[in-house]
Amino acid sequence: MSDTLSTGTVPASAPPPTRPSSRHLAVARLRDLALVPAIVAVAIVGWIISPVFLSTDNVLNVLQSMSEIAILVLAQTIVLITGKMDLSLESTFGLAPGIAAWLVVDPELTRGLGLGLLPDAWAVPVVLLVGALVGAFNGLLIVRFGLNGFIVTLGMLIILRGLLTGISGGQTFFALPGSMTYLGSTSWLGVPASIWVSLLLFAAGIVVLGHTRAGRALYAIGGNADAARAAGIRTDRVLWVALVVASVLAALAGLLISGRLAAVPAAQGDGAIFQVFAAAVIGGVSLNGGRGSVFGAFTGVLLLFMIINVLTLAGVPAQWTNFLNGAVILIALVVSRITGGKAQT
């Protein structure tokens, strides 16, 4: 590379930028925006198919229905950047509000312990606490015992879902306390609170991952854990925190959707992890760690939900919706490979 350009004395002026690296920079900067043209294209197609698509009502609808999954995508992005993955997020998404409901709701009204032990106001802290505990347990197995993250969280996915089925007896928890439904069902300034929450979390994610020591540590660990350790980053602790934060975010997302539905179905989150991975990867987050951005992940999830919305508005036959969803994901992957370089590896 450029060190072979012989320069006896370093000139005061910086060496003229070589082509390769300046192009690299441009690519890196553009990768974040890689999906914007696609989003615009889908918006136009959607508007042609149904003018309703761009109505405030429908835009809010898209944003609200993606808000919970978007938070899961944010959580997964954090974990992916460190070079791990957390499949169990989809189960935490259901289990955390499920446990809170189980502990709090009145058994007269619906299934639940309702031990009278916990006042309703405790429901939300319990949700977040369950998330934190799941994350800590994942951390114990992955960071402390050195087990493979994919397989640990796969086991946790199954076990946590089983736990929710077990405590709920497979039934839906209804009649949630107001503290649990507030965030998911209220509106601020005419916009559902869950949209605000998800947008704020993404904004925070952009700042933290892009502009703080802790955030950059995630990238360093994902890029080369040994080097990060040698540079004085407490890699184990950071990984642990990342797993806990991701699980707490998943619990929060679960709280939002439980609030929106005013219930915790035993199957809450079932199968969501596929969509979460697809959105993160389409958004340019690398499964090998160290690469990807929170903003990119946001564009990924936005694109996916816009397409699903367009398909619904277009009224595609029910039996073909799954096929089309899959096709959209695959095509988005191939396109992001062609346009954005090695975005998805």
Partner 1 sequence: AGCGDRGAGTGTGGGKPLIGVDYPRSDTDFWNSYIRYVPQSAGQLGVDLKTTNSQNDIANLISNAQTFMSQGVKGVVMAPQDTAAIAPTLAQLESRKIPVVTIDTRPDTGTVFMVVRADNRAYGTKACQFLGTKLGGRGKVVMLQGGLDSINGRDRTEAFSECMGKEFPGIKVFGEATDWKADVAASKLQTRFASDPDIRGVYMQSSFALSGTLQILKQRGLQVPPTDPKHVFVVSNDGIPEELKNIGDGLIDATVSQPADLYARYGLEYAKAAIEGKTFQPGPTDHGSTIIQVRDGLLEDQLPAPLVTLDGAPVAGQPTVKYDDPSLWGRKG
Partner 2 sequence: MTTAPHHPGDDDPPVVEAVDITKRFGSTLALSGAGIMVRRGETHALVGRNGAGKSTLVGILTGLQAADGGAVAFDGRPAPPLADRDAWRRRVACVYQKSTIIPTLTVAENLFLNRHARSRAGLIRWSSLRREAQHLLAQWSVDVDVRQPAATLSVEQRQFVEIARALSFGARFIVLDEPTAQLDAAGIDRLFTRIRDLRAQGVTFLFISHHLQEIYDLCDRVTVFRDARHILTAPVAGLSRQALVAAMTGEDVSMPEADHRPPASDAPVLLSVRDLVTGSGARLSMRARAGEVVGIAGGGGSGKVEVAEAVVGLARPVAGSVTLAGRVLRPGSVPDALAAGVGLVPQDRHREGLVPGLSIGENVTMTVPQRVGRYGFISRARRDALARDTIAALTIKASGPQTPVADLSGGNQQKVVMGRALANDPRLLVLITPTAGVDVRSKQTLLGVVEDVRRRGTAVLVVSDELDDLRICDRVLVMFQGRVVAEMAHGWSDNDLVAAMEGVDLHHV
Q: Is position 281 an interface residue for a copy of itself (rule: CB under 8 A)?
A: yes
d(CA 303, CA 297): 10
C-beta closer to partner 1: residue 129 or 154: 154
- Number of residues counted as binding partner 1 (CB under 8 A): 42
d(CA 245, CA 233): 18
d(CA 301, CA 70): 6
Q: Is position 217 an interface residue for partner 2 (rule: CB under 8 A)?
A: yes
148 binds, among partner 1, a copy of itself, partner 2, none (CB under 5 to 8 A by kind): a copy of itself
Q: From the CB of residue 178, how many other CB atoms can be counted at a distance below 10 Å?
A: 11
Considering only 4, 11, 319, 338, the residue that binds partner 1 (CB under 8 A) is 319
DSSP-derived 3-state class of residue 266: coil
Please name the amino acid found at residue 240.
W
- Long-range pairs for 36-39 at CB < 8 Å and ≥24 separation? 36/299, 38/303, 38/332, 38/335, 39/299, 39/302, 39/303, 39/306
Non-local CB neighbours of 158 within 8 Å, separated by 6+ positions:
91
> Considering only 39-47, 95-103, 210-218, 303-311, which stretch makes contact with partner 2 by CB under 8 A?
210-218
C-beta closer to a copy of itself: residue 212 or 312: 312
Binding residues for partner 1 restricted to 2-61, rule: CB under 8 A: 50, 52, 55, 57-58, 61
Query: Are residues 75 and 249 in contact, defined by beta-carbon separation less than 8 angstroms?
Result: yes
Q: Is position 109 an interface residue for a copy of itself (rule: CB under 8 A)?
A: no
In the complex, minimum distance from the CB of residue 69 to partner 1, in angstroms, rounded to a whole number: 8
Reported as half-sphere exposure (CB side, CA atoms, 13 A), residue 55 has a value of: 11
Q: Which residues bind partner 2 (CB under 8 A)?
A: 1-11, 13-15, 17-25, 28, 207, 210-214, 216-217, 219-220, 222-224, 226-234, 286, 289-291
Q: Which residues bind a copy of itself (CB under 8 A)?
A: 141, 145-148, 150-152, 154-163, 165-166, 168-170, 274, 277-278, 281, 287, 318-327, 329-330, 333-334, 337, 342, 344-345
